[in-house]
Amino acid sequence: MSDHIPGNTPGGEPGRDRVPLPEDSMPTGGVNAPVPVAPEATPAVDPRLIVRQEGIKGYLAEFRRRVSSGELGSLPVVVALIVIWVVFGSLNSSFLSAQNLSNLSQQIVGTGMIALGVVFVLLLGEIDLSVAYVSGLCAALFAVLNVNNGVNQWVALLVALASGAAVGVIHGLFFAKVGVPAFVVTLAGNLGWNGLMLQVLGATGTVNLSGKDIVSRLYTTIYGQQIAAYGAAVIGIALFVIASLVDAARRKAAGVPYRPMTDIVVRTVVLAIIAFLAAYTLNQYKGLPLALLIFLIFIVVLDFVLRRTTYGRKVFALGGNIEGARRAGIDVAWIRISVFSICSTMAAVGGLFLAAQIQSASQTSGGGNLLMNSIAAAVIGGTSLFGGRGKTWSALLGALVIGSIQSGMNIEGLSNAIQFMITGAVLLAAVVVDSLARRTQRAAGRA
Amino acid sequence: MAGETVLALRGVSKRFGAVQALTDIELEVHAGEVVALVGDNGAGKSTLVKAIAGVHQPDEGVIEWQGRPVTIHRPQDAQQLGIATVYQDLALCDNLDVVANLFLGREIRRLGILDEVAMEKRSRGLLDTLSIRIPSVRIPVASLSGGQRQVVAIARALIGSPKVVMLDEPTAALGVEQTAQVLDLVERLREQDHGVILISHNMADVMAVADTVAVLRLGRNNGVFDKRYTNQEEIISAITGATDNAVTRRRARGQEGSQ
């Protein structure tokens, strides 16, 4: 049977007249029929594609299309922020004062740093429930080593950060190698690291920072010269413009689509308005806080890591399709462990800023609603709980929203009870927006 | 039509516990040839593909690559030889754009940084040579149709310039136009001198593009047909075993008895 003798079937070449080819049943017209395109006429572009027009009009049309298909991005959080500022500003004029906003920009750094780490874990589609007490533990380690044991402040700082990284590696090993669900590992960690923190703090329970150590200075330093804030704004805008122009030039030279000049100008102007308004407000009070500058640098650097390096690409790939990532030769376990390590390290950084803020590490460090706030900040800022979508900037936006609500309610003198309820409602609203956006994206074929 | 023999299987057998999944399989793939691998469910098609792709190792027999016997221990070994596999589930990342998916795991870098411009340029070049028409190389794969995803998955297999491309049921979930797109693509692969192994249950697809049809039945070769001299009934008979008759059954029983 395995040898076929040519011509032994009746009718010479019977396959020709009996077998219906799929081409025969192809429609010859209709909307889905392939449009004949000359081979040299850019065949990679589908004629059905909605091509964006140039200029501001095209920008608005594109924006409307994105919103209607559920690609909300940062839109909900920006709207929320404006609403919050308008509401609290109208209730009490001191809310929008330069003093309050300057203080706010400093107070959000601790939570924001932790949220920055949470963004990485959320990108994998996982969650880390231990960040709050990991931040407390690392702050306690720094305080005890530096204040109680007289260890060099830099060594103590490095030990605290390294402990954060090690904690993350432990979480990652249990998650990636043993296969325990991430929320269970980190929930156990939440309790365990809290216990270790209490152990480290010892009998007294509270260790006051000297106020002259490196961590305190990183938080309390404010550059009072006018030039500092404006200079930082100018440098930021200049970097953005140079990066945009270089990218557009390279793309033009390579013959691939590039951002038109009007786009770059519009984006630069928007960025400049925001940056100079912020700088002006900060200068109205004391000046540019070092903590805010460090936070912004962390955001930009980690944004670069996520979007412009193979490592970041692997993180996104894992958030999109684990099996696909594995088949593409990505070391899934290593990426998972490293992401959990980044998250815990950022928790340590945030914990140190929080300790500097209250000038001590105590038994209540990392407690309260810090965990909720850090995760909420990342989600409110627009990072999806479902993995694969998000930006480091969402940590800044989310922390601003959370911080503004707390600051506004403190000014209004609302009790903790009311504050918790409102913060909880805001978090729920953010997750609802995320879920609805995802559903709309599915309907629009974009999820 | 077909060029030199790129890939050849000689007497390949594979057992899983008590199951003899493959027995003495012979298969040859030439450059510029489309070999359709057909057979009923459980005939051993997927096992054979996995043996070639390095997922399973054959227990007996030899895999020859360009005339030399090779051992393929891991999927990476197969990729290094130049065997690219497009699995049925495609394994694309929905949240990444087309360029990112094409280059996933082998990104082009410049000074350690992703070179998006070079990757986009090469993507467009590759998609153009395959006459693949997708809206934009910068939209997430999630917004592509099933057929477009399939061609992106096939294009991804071609990034590493393989000599043999294995397609596992590429048209199973596709509509009429998308199927036509994929079949066009298979023909273009042949024109570019790739050897193609095409697994399909769809006889119309097989007869449309294949040069050779290899039939598996119960883990054995059950005929290799030249498409020019065969027809659909003959292949279906070979697949279902309807060509069995008293004579062949008696012969088979005699062999079992003598073993």
Residue whose pair of structure tokens reads 């219906």 in the numeric block: A20
Residue A46 to residue B113, Cβ atoms within 8 A:
no
Q: Which amino acid is at A99?
A: Q
When computed from its CA atoms, the radius of gyration of chain B, rounded to whole angstroms, is 19
The closest CB to that of B207, out of A21, A316, A321, belongs to A21
Is residue B242 domain-shared with residue B206, that is, in the same domain? yes
> Is there a domain that residue B78 lies in?
no
Q: Which amino acid is at B90?
A: L
Residue B114 to residue A254, Cβ atoms within 8 A:
no
Contact B203, B232 (CB under 8 A): yes
**Neighbouring residues of A366: CB distance < 8 A, sequence distance ≥ 6:** A132, A133, A134, A135, A136, A137, A139, A194, A197, A351
- Chain A residues lying within 8 Å of B11, measured CB to CB: none
- Three-state SS string over B12-60 comes to EEEEECCEEEEEEEEEEEECCCEEEEEECCCCCHHHHHHHHHCCCCCCE
Is residue B144 domain-shared with residue B189, that is, in the same domain? no
The closest CB to that of A330, out of B105, B208, B231, belongs to B105
**What confidence tier does A290 reach under pLDDT thresholds 50, 70, 90?**
very high
Residue B248 to residue A26, Cβ atoms within 8 A:
no
The closest CB to that of B234, out of A9, A251, A313, belongs to A9
- Chain A residues lying within 8 Å of B238, measured CB to CB: 1
> Is there a domain that residue B177 lies in?
yes
Is residue B8 domain-shared with residue B30, that is, in the same domain? yes
Q: What is the pLDDT of residues A402-439, one digit of tens each?
A: 999 989 998 988 888 888 888 888 888 888 887 887 77
Is residue B183 domain-shared with residue B251, that is, in the same domain? yes
Is residue B11 domain-shared with residue B41, that is, in the same domain? yes
Min Cα distance A86 → chain B (Å) is 35
Q: Tally Cβ neighbours within 10 Å of residue B100.
A: 25
Residue B114 to residue A441, Cβ atoms within 8 A:
no
A390: left (phi over 0), alpha (psi -120 to 50) or beta: left
- Chain A residues lying within 8 Å of B221, measured CB to CB: 2
Min Cα distance B174 → chain A (Å) is 12
Is residue B190 domain-shared with residue B153, that is, in the same domain? no
pLDDT for residue A28 is more than 60: no
Give the mean model confidence (pLDDT) for residues B69-93: 85
Residue A324 to residue B124, Cβ atoms within 8 A:
no
Mutation pick from B76, B83, B98, B104 vs chain A, by most beta carbons of A within 10 Å, is B104
Contact B164, B7 (CB under 8 A): yes
The pLDDT assigned to A179 comes to: 92
Query: Considering chain B, what percentage of its residues have pLDDT values greater than 90?
Result: 11
Min Cα distance A117 → chain B (Å) is 20
The closest CB to that of A4, out of B91, B205, B229, belongs to B229
Residue A254 to residue B117, Cβ atoms within 8 A:
yes
Q: Taken in order A139, A143, A146, A148, is the CA torsion positive or negative?
A: negative
Which of B161, B189, B223 is where one domain is finished?
B161
Q: Compare all CA atoms of chain B with the CA of A29 and give the residue at the minimum distance.
A: B177
Is residue B173 domain-shared with residue B133, that is, in the same domain? no
A150: left (phi over 0), alpha (psi -120 to 50) or beta: left
pLDDT for residue B220 is more than 70: yes
**B96 interfacial to chain A (CB closer than 8 Å):** yes
The closest CB to that of A324, out of B92, B109, B223, belongs to B92
The pLDDT assigned to A1 comes to: 40
Residues paired with residue B25 on neighbouring β-strands, in sequence order: B12
Q: Return the higher-pLDDT residue of B113 and A11.
A: B113
pLDDT for residue A29 is more than 50: no
Residue B232 to residue A320, Cβ atoms within 8 A:
no
Tell me the range of A110-119, A201-210, A402-411 where mean pLDDT is highest: A110-119
> Is there a domain that residue B22 lies in?
yes
| CB contact residues (below 8 A), chain B span 61-90, against chain A | 75-76, 87, 89-90
Size of interface A-B (CB pairs under 8 A): 168
pLDDT for residue A8 is more than 80: no
CA pair distance A363, A199, nearest whole angstrom: 10
pLDDT for residue A196 is more than 90: yes
Q: Which of A194-203, B61-70, B211-220, B246-255 has the lowest mean pLDDT?
A: B246-255
| CB contact residues (below 8 A), chain B span 103-122, against chain A | 104-107, 109, 112-114, 117-118, 120-121
> Is there a domain that residue B130 lies in?
yes
Q: Compare all CA atoms of chain A with the CA of B206 and give the residue at the minimum distance.
A: A21
Mutation pick from B23, B38, B93 vs chain A, by most beta carbons of A within 10 Å, is B93
> Is there a domain that residue B61 lies in?
no
Rounded to a whole number of angstroms, the distance between the first and last alpha carbons of chain B is 41
pLDDT for residue A320 is more than 50: yes
Residue A15 to residue B207, Cβ atoms within 8 A:
yes
**B99 interfacial to chain A (CB closer than 8 Å):** no
- Chain B residues lying within 8 Å of A310, measured CB to CB: 107, 109, 114
Which of B141, B161, B181 is where one domain is finished?
B161
**B208 interfacial to chain A (CB closer than 8 Å):** yes
Q: What is the pLDDT of residues B91-147, one digit of tens each?
A: 889 889 999 999 988 888 888 888 888 899 888 888 887 777 777 888 888 888 877
Give the range of the structural domain holding residue B141, as residue numbers without chain letter: 91-161
Identify the CATH number of the domain in which residue B19 sits.
Answer: 3.40.50.300
**B222 interfacial to chain A (CB closer than 8 Å):** yes
Q: Which of A158-167, A188-197, B120-129 has the lowest mean pLDDT?
A: B120-129
Is residue B100 domain-shared with residue B36, that is, in the same domain? no
Min Cα distance A139 → chain B (Å) is 34
pLDDT for residue A13 is more than 80: no
Domain count, chain B: 2
Q: Which of B1, B75, B60 is nearest to B26 (CA)?
A: B60
Query: Considering chain B, what percentage of its residues have pLDDT values greater than 70?
Result: 93
Is residue B146 domain-shared with residue B177, that is, in the same domain? no
Which of B161, B187, B221 is where one domain is finished?
B161
pLDDT for residue A22 is more than 60: no
Where are the strands (E) in A183-301, listed by range? Answer: 206-208, 222-223, 288-289
The closest CB to that of A4, out of B93, B96, B225, belongs to B225
Is residue B126 domain-shared with residue B252, that is, in the same domain? no
| CB contact residues (below 8 A), chain B span 138-177, against chain A | 138, 140, 142-143, 176-177
> Is there a domain that residue B119 lies in?
yes
Complex prediction ipTM: 0.77
CA pair distance A19, B225, nearest whole angstrom: 15
> Is there a domain that residue B64 lies in?
no
> Is there a domain that residue B58 lies in?
no
- The sheet with strand B164-168 has its strands ordered as B83-86, B164-168, B195-199, B34-39, B212-217, B220-226
The pLDDT assigned to A40 comes to: 41
Give the mean model confidence (pLDDT) for residues A322-350: 92
Average pLDDT, chain A: 83
The pLDDT assigned to A23 comes to: 42
Is residue B175 domain-shared with residue B236, that is, in the same domain? yes
Residue B114 to residue A308, Cβ atoms within 8 A:
yes
Residue A44 to residue B132, Cβ atoms within 8 A:
yes
Going by the DSSP 8-state scheme, the letter that residue A34 receives in this structure is P
Is residue B179 domain-shared with residue B238, that is, in the same domain? yes
Residue A447 to residue B87, Cβ atoms within 8 A:
no
